[in-house]
Amino acid sequence: MRRALALAVTPGVPLGPNPRVGCVLLAPDGTTIAEGFHRGAGTPHAEAAALAEAGDAARGATAVVTLEPCNHTGRTGPCSEALVAAGVRRVVFAQPDANPVAVGGAGRLREAGVEVVGGEQVEDAQAINRAWTFAIVHRRPFVTWKFATTLDGRSAAADGTSRWVSSRAARLDTHRLRGLCDTMLVGTGTVEVDDPELTVRDEVDEPVAIQPLRAVMGLRDLDPGRRILDARAETVHLRTRDPEEALARLHGLGRQHVFLEGGPTLARAFLAAGLVDEVVTYVAPMLLGAGRNAVADLGIATIADALHLHVSDVAVLQGHDGEDTNVRLTMRPPIPQRRSA
């Protein structure tokens, strides 16, 4: 299973819209017959790739796969039927398939007399498809809110200047995280004031094959000269102020992971709606004393009502000169976020 998990995250495999899956076929004596992994939407699934490599040697084999074999016909046929037809005698999978369209592979295999074992290293399997799993279960994209702040919680100075609250090391790390998402989301105010490009760039380790979708939320018309409307990436204007409606529309477009980079007003709207699933903040070792808050008024009047986040990771991001330093905090809300309708 560890090998199958490694195959699933082979470099170059897209993060979506399909899950990343790896498969290893084993002979009765435990030796490896063939391997396969899913290379993206429209390509053979991991099981099909392994079976094609194995040929007749698949008969009587054990298939070890990171996701329950699918049981539906889309661009490719059902993997459950392919495994049965190949004469595989045993299937071991990690994560059950939560997709209501594809579910049922394990049951179909058992009906055909194949021995099936599920739940092996399930947490590791879920981790490599975190956004896909979340979107399937909650029927909306996973939302990561990212912001940069000074020690006293300011995202910009009193005159509106914000370059650079974050260090170069933090900016490079931000682009790395952007590359892990399929959607960048800001409000019309951010587009009007900051004129962001919202693309993945700045010397990321591996240039992205497809730029994330750029989404702008708000009712105001967009200036056609703004950089977010250039040809570097696709852009959609979500004419709503409702975070749930915005996420529903993005989910309908097949989007699974939203990187929220808007200003304090947009951040407040998503926090108030309980629609932030992860918070990533870059804290700069500087003080301003005044200026724009990182998040707008949440209506919290007493410390007892403060929104507490669970810290899952802390990292010091330091530049080559030793001075260009930020601290990155990765956090999550304390309670499960509600599902969108």
- Render pLDDT for 3-18 as a digit per residue (tens, 0 to 9): 999 999 998 888 888 9
Nearest by Cα to 49 from 32, 36, 63: 36
Cα–Cα distance measured from residue 207 to residue 201, given in angstroms and rounded to the nearest whole number: 7
| DSSP SS3 for 274 | coil
Q: How far apart are CA 13 and CA 65, in angstroms?
A: 16
For 252, other C-beta atoms within 10 Å of its C-beta total: 9
Domains and their CATH numbers in the chain:
2-128 (3.40.140.10), 135-332 (3.40.430.10)
Task: Give me Rg for the CA atoms of the chain.
Answer: 23
Please state whether the predicted TM-score (pTM) of the whole model is above 0.85: yes
Residue 106 has pLDDT above 70, yes or no: yes
Q: How confident is the model over 284-320, as pLDDT tens digits? A: 999 998 888 989 999 999 999 989 999 999 999 987 7
Angstrom distance (rounded) from CA 248 to CA 255: 10
pLDDT digits (tens, 9 = 90+) for 155-206: 888 887 777 788 888 989 999 999 999 999 999 999 998 899 999 986 655 6
Q: Where is the binding site for Zn(2+), in residues?
A: 45, 70, 79
Tokens of 289: 């004393």
Catalytic residues: 47
State the DSSP H helix or E strand holding residue 315, giving kind and residue range, or none if neither.
strand 310-318
What local confidence, expressed as pLDDT, does residue 74 receive? 76
- Total H helices, total E strands in the chain: 10, 15
- The per-residue pLDDT for 341 is 40
* Whether 64 contacts 21, CB under 8 Å: no
> Binding site residues, as ranges?
45, 70, 79, 148, 162, 164, 178, 190, 194, 198, 201, 261, 263-269
